A and B are shown apart, each in its own frame.
Chain A
Amino acid sequence: MSLDKATVAKIAHLARIKTDDAQLDAMVGDLNTILGFVEQLSEVNTDNVEPLASVTGHGLPLRADVVTDGAYPERVLANAPDRAHGYYAVPKVVE
């Protein structure tokens, strides 16, 4: 499989990374090199192999349903680049 510029542009948009034309050209080369490298996996026979679910092999630990956190809006908002009236503020979204 080989990526073309349009596909890389699409992926970059999915990942919300703005890329100009020159960057796209460079990325196409790099990504194809990496994809070419990982392509070797197709040599491995993985019939009847279950994908690894977790290295530890144990199940999910559960916590009790108790309110133990929150109630500190100031800490939540402390690092916000833009905030107003206790909210995070972002460029207006039109729905």
Chain B
Amino acid sequence: MAKIIIDQERCKGCELCTSACPKHIIIMSEYFNAKGYHTAKQIKPEECTGCAFCALTCPDVAIEVYK
């Protein structure tokens, strides 16, 4: 069991986490945050292994990982 929380207001929509995720379960959402960025979101949370690759790659320290 693992989960990630993406801080929607810190996310700048750079998409680096989407390419880092080995399970390909992070995608870009339709949501715009206050700064006008499309943010990243996780799909299929049950597949998340908590590897933290997304958090490692995130340049905005917007992702927390729980395991």
Tell whether A pairs with B: no
